[in-house]
Homo-oligomer: A and B are copies of this chain.
């Protein structure tokens, strides 16, 4: 079940560097793309840095709407992740082609992609030079949610069923799934 995540803890949903899906809506048009180059930038309010390649349909819609949802898909969605990253919403309806369902949250224009395990609704911070020089966008979250199967109310659970695990893109359609969880031994006083 999707449950709210306090904004001050929402950065933790992205801290382990998973592949994300980015969704957007603008004037009745809705699209979704995959993005691996997403990382936390600040804690509270949470900021993420997001690379959005030039000339993509998703970027055009985001620059128009100024809002987006960044979400973390699971290994169960691996073919859809690769698929939405490999074609343009200008040419196809990705929602239909990749059998992605949409959920809605009040006050959030972009749809949330069903089946993901973490979501952040965010606004673009106005940094036009970063976008033009580096395709880099800074976004600030204004709401976040997680599937309570993977989130314990404070952070991502250490142990989750295989089908709900998140993935990391190596290259060329090859991904690594979250594996064993380890806790570091504090050796501060060593």
* Chain A residues at the B interface, C-beta cutoff of 8 Å: 12, 15-18, 36-42, 47, 49, 51, 75, 78-83, 86-87, 97-98, 130, 134, 136, 138, 155-156, 158, 165, 167-188, 190
Which residues in B have their C-beta under 8 angstroms from that of A156?
170-171
Distance (whole angstroms) from the CB of A83 to the closest CB of chain B: 5
A169 to B11, CA, bound (A): 12
Which residues in B have their C-beta under 8 angstroms from that of A172?
155
Q: A15-B170, A16-B168 are in contact. List 12 more A-B contacts (CB 8 A).
A: A36-B40, A39-B49, A39-B51, A40-B51, A41-B136, A79-B187, A156-B171, A173-B183, A173-B184, A174-B183, A176-B181, A176-B182
Q: Of the candidates B15, B79, B181, which one forms a contact with A185 in the assembled complex, judged by CB atoms under 8 Å apart? A: B79
Q: How many protomers of this protein does the assembly include?
A: 2
A16 to B39, CA, bound (A): 11
- Given the known inter-chain contacts A82-B184, A174-B183, please indicate yes or no for A36 contacting B49, CB distance below 8 A: no
Q: Are A78 and B186 in contact (CB under 8 A)?
A: no
Most chain B CB within a 10 A radius of its CB, from A15, A18, A81: A15
